[in-house]
Amino acid sequence: MGALGRPRRSCLAVPGSSVKMLGKAQGLPADQVFLDIEDAVAPLAKPEARKNIVAALNDGGWGDKVRVVRVNDLTTPWTYRDVIEVVEGAGANLDAIMLPKVQNAAQVQWLDMLLTQIEKTVGLPVGGIGIEAQIENAAGLVNVDAIAAASPRVETIIFGPADFMASINMKSLVVGQLIPEYPADPYHYILMRILMAARMHDLQAIDGPFLQIRDVDGFTEVAKRSAALGFDGKWVLHPGQIDAANEVYSPSQADYDHAELILDAYEYYTSEKGGKLGAVMLGDEMIDEASRKMALVVAGKGRAAGMSRTSSFTPPDKG
């Protein structure tokens, strides 16, 4: 699924150990849910979490949410059992497996092959289950291009800021916080690096969690930084963050209307009737083919988010 595929503006983390939260998440307006067997679940609770997740996927009503399960990373002994139990048990009701702390392409290829084996065994379409790759350490970031290219199943590249900051010894305890001693945004390089790899392979780029769940203004401020770069969405850890994410990662109504206007106007002006013009003034703005491409991005995000336009293009009266 490409960068303009199913919306993933808000990706809700749901601990697989909590039957209550697995139930509640189904009714929340997040674009995606990821049911977690990794860091939100204690080691002793992981076997139970796998079972809870299979039951919730098969019996729950998830609407048109993207349904993802986050398994444990490949340095642990749990990963293969997570994948086998969840996909054998609920593969028909699952869109993707999220692999955290990915370090290289081989880890993604391992998951791809295991998924293929399970799909063949249980009679699911081969290649139907996607992969979400979470970048959470220096090795993952350095290898992000190869990770993005490792399998046609990869749909998203996700930034995992908490683990990432720990792995590179970044001196902050608040995810997303700018560091007073350092004048630039320390996340900028990481986000851009992930974004380039994602776009090169037509994948979605997803920003990770903001842990101060009661501080919705703080969440919004941090989300706006990755949204401005072009990220498609962000994790949400609490229902209170969902509306903010859905808003920040959708175009504003004015930008959406303007993008649709440019598309209509450019189609008209480049046509025989409009004078076969390749560069033209639209109000005070010069538009050309590159404007159409920029407008397509904004219009695509708006359409995927179900927005409707509030204005239309009227061709000039040539008298």
Q: For Mg ion, which stretch binds (CB under 5 A), given 19-27, 160-168, 219-227, 264-272? A: 160-168
Residues from 137 through 176 that contact ligand GLV (CB under 6 A): 160-163
C-beta closer to ligand GLV: residue 130 or 140? 140
C-beta closer to ligand GLV: residue 130 or 209? 209
CB closest to Mg ion, residue no: 163
Q: CA 126, CA 233: separation in Å to the nearest integer?
A: 27
**Least distance from C-beta 59 to Mg ion, angstroms?**
28
Q: Are 44 and 66 in contact (CB under 8 A)?
A: no
For Mg ion, which residue of 163, 207, 232, 264 counts as binding (CB under 5 A)?
Answer: 163
Residues from 83 through 112 that contact ligand GLV (CB under 6 A): 100
C-beta closer to Mg ion: residue 193 or 292? 193
Length of the chain: 319
Consecutive H or E run containing 293: helix 289-304
Does 160 contact Mg ion by CB under 5 A? yes
Residues from 198 through 227 that contact ligand GLV (CB under 6 A): 208-209
Of 256, 275, 278, 263, the residue nearest 316 (C-alpha)? 275
Q: Are 235 and 204 in contact (CB under 8 A)?
A: no
Q: CA 184, CA 249: separation in Å to the nearest integer?
A: 23
Interface map 102-141 toward Mg ion (x if CB under 5 A) = ----------------------------------------
Binding footprint of ligand GLV on the chain (CB under 6 A): 100, 136, 160-163, 208-209
